Structure 1
């Protein structure tokens, strides 16, 4: 999710200048890259609060039977939060069971019980990546967006499997909305370009981008959605190129409005870094239900930034997360079209055909052993590289539409 302008066009710049298309990192400072410690971050504190879920031995009339571990959290008042997930110490441990929460809206009623999808392990850095070997990584469920809430209750049932150590609920407050950019503040968005200007810029900055590229879409920068640059690790990590795009759903639920998308992103960002222990937001880009495109992981939207989105296949790929859960809900056409527009441009910069195939070397997943060369669609779903429900069956069925649209935009 980087700014064509190299990392988030989110840095400060007073005038609209041509945005760099540099491909691999060339070691030179990027005038558009996010700077850790942006003074604006002080206005966007946010918070993560953890509540332990202590195991409670289940009871059985059969004394020889193994107790079924459970963990309950009685309904309680808490500081306001908007996103919740379950987290545990060991990222390799599996939470085998069902985790459910119910929440109380601020000034409102309690929700029904909602499931937290167990197993966020299908995301994350590849096992050999430095990001996966810091000792800060944790196991976690997918996060759930619940909106502004001040009450929570939880229950965990595992049918006899032991609970992972350190099991807890993390409640995430996304912090305040960033101030509206001034009219002269051009670093809040990377503007859309028509095809002629996209080609001209690619020629000026990169010596060209090949015969096929889609027009650059508008991209909302990290600065505009309010990323606190003090949370992530400093510096950036790059692959050599972008051969494929993996499409995901965030599995955070569909109960958000598009005006809340920035809050959803800040919450997921904090959850990825503070709860899961990743170096930054996991996905390179995000798309909301209204078709808005957002810069994700810092480092430059045009550059091959190494993400933590598809375990085993983060190298030489990018991850696009559609905000929401699309297992039983059909994604809006605006979101699918945004995926296509983004893919047409970004894949075009790196010479990839959206309707083609790519060969990636597995870094190790539950489908492909480490070192195996895997044939994948250039636009693939997360489940193509890892046995997972992601990106949800309904979104997965729309990838053919996205491929055709992206190829058309590239003039193929």
Structure 2
């Protein structure tokens, strides 16, 4: 039996977890290797005033023909202009590159950057605004043609995906010089989709070369170790596999909102240009297939605010101070509502969530005042939609005089939590815990917690699973009873706790 590669093992595990194979295109033959060369310079120091009022640097000869530039500027909100030539006699038009519109930052967050696809050349000339003191340019050649044909396979929704091997991803980018992964893959249950544009050319004749350039820019220039998107879609409707690791893997496409989201980028700039019908069709089909348990129309709290389940990049960043972005461009963003409806139509209807409580158990049913009761509640998703959750996570201990709100864990709209009441529901279920992760259809999760008890007497413990801010909840079928004894009334008597109790036992 042949030995499985690590990639095959990870892909198999993720497919089993998320319910379906990751169907991608494979490609054989010698893969083109992306080349890069780095130039660093102080533009204001070694420049002369150009006709357009900016600063123009000397002509730079690159060791090989190139088709992309990854630029890091020391100053945010810089504008740098470039033009290229094969021989210094005929030059391309000047191309303006905006630095700082959340196109990306180095891994340490220290410097803004941008990627530009340019006319192929071997010479480069740079012009910059006054005050741009220095910059770094990674000059990239991602254009070598692929020698063997692609073999495409279709997903359920009728879209094909080109594998990383198919577009010639350089897997060495994922590792540092010691062989350690730069971004360790982590898998989450997806419950959001974030749509982007790549802010690159709309007329690129070799979209796979653009994907390779983006890969180098994200992995090497910015130091992320891999491409930031989970998937990319070109104007011909071809879909490319992005981040290594398969379905559910955390990518690097929306700062602070990567875990639990699927990042899909439409290749091009869609600030004023509409995406092609082929791109739109594949985007819709891809979302319907890869996010088939996510209700596109619904919304829930995600990290720092309530967001629609299928959103534009700017929606994910709307609550972050200084984190605003125009992505995915005004025209594509203006289509998001229509795209959501088209995804629902492709799915055949909106998936819906339904949670039930399968079991409620407590650690004992007899306590002296000040004792701590442990609780365990098993929840199951019997619906067709993945549900989101929130803090606090399992094992948090409350004092019975406290509440989730009082501890700083107020309800976040649209999320689901387990709620507990030690007075048969009369106290309003003040103790709440989140699920371990978003819960996909058919999955179960056991939530644990603890409450320190002070008030003597008999009480009934009841559990509820609640959708915060929506008035939706499901109660446990039965309650379990416990007794708290006043320590002062014990005298010399000994109270021996009895065995753990479960609802219905």
TM over 0.5: yes
Greater helix fraction, Structure 1 or Structure 2:
1
Residue 8 of structure 1 contacts residue 222 of structure 1 at CA under 8 Å; is this kept in 2?
no
Of 133, 139, 157, 2:129 maps to 157
Deviation at 1:175, TM superposition (A): 5.2
The residue correspondences of 1:159-308 to structure 2 (distance < 5 A) are 160=131, 163=133, 167-174=135-142, 176-181=144-149, 189=151, 191-194=153-156, 215=157, 217-233=159-175, 234=181, 236-257=184-205, 260-300=206-246, 303-308=247-252
Q: Hey, what's the Cα distance between the residues in 1 that align with 2:341 and 2:87?
A: 44
| Residue 340, structure 1, aligned to residue 280, structure 2 | no
Of 108, 113, 116, 1:141 maps to 113
Q: Hey, what's the Cα distance between the residues in 2 that align with 1:39 and 1:345?
A: 26
| Residue 354, structure 1, aligned to residue 291, structure 2 | no
SS in 2 for 1:224: coil
**What do residues 346-403 of structure 1 show as CA deviations (whole Å, max 9, x unaligned)?**
111xx21122223211xxxxxxxxxx3x111111111112211111111111212211
Greater strand fraction, Structure 1 or Structure 2:
2
Of 55, 70, 77, 2:61 maps to 77
The residue aligned with 2:307 is 376
Of 327, 332, 336, 1:399 maps to 336
SS in 1 for 2:17: coil
Higher Rg of the two aligned structures: 2
Q: Hey, what's the Cα distance between the residues in 1 that align with 2:254 and 2:98?
A: 16
Of 37, 40, 46, 1:49 maps to 37
Deviation at 1:237, TM superposition (A): 1.4
Of 67, 78, 87, 1:97 maps to 78
- Structure 2 segments unaligned to the other structure (5+ residues): 1-5, 48-52, 176-180, 318-323, 350-505
The residue correspondences of 1:316-335 to structure 2 (distance < 5 A) are 316-335=260-279
Residue range with higher mean Cα deviation, 277-286 or 393-402: 393-402
Residue 88 of structure 2 contacts residue 123 of structure 2 at CA under 8 Å; is this kept in 1?
no
Deviation at 1:285, TM superposition (A): 0.4
Structure with bigger RCO (C-alpha 8 Å, 6+ apart): 1
Deviation at 1:245, TM superposition (A): 1.0
Q: Hey, what's the Cα distance between the residues in 1 that align with 2:234 and 2:97?
A: 20
* Aligned-residue RMSD, C-alpha: 3.6
Q: TM-score, normalised by structure 1?
A: 0.69
Residue 24 of structure 1 contacts residue 240 of structure 1 at CA under 8 Å; is this kept in 2?
no
Deviation at 1:251, TM superposition (A): 0.6
Q: Hey, what's the Cα distance between the residues in 1 that align with 2:119 and 2:337?
A: 33
Q: Hey, what's the Cα distance between the residues in 2 that align with 1:8 and 1:249?
A: 30
Q: Hey, what's the Cα distance between the residues in 1 that align with 2:65 and 2:40?
A: 17
Q: Hey, what's the Cα distance between the residues in 2 that align with 1:305 and 1:226?
A: 20
Q: How many residues align?
A: 324
The residue aligned with 1:388 is 325
SS in 2 for 1:217: coil
Residue 123 of structure 1 contacts residue 311 of structure 1 at CA under 8 Å; is this kept in 2?
no
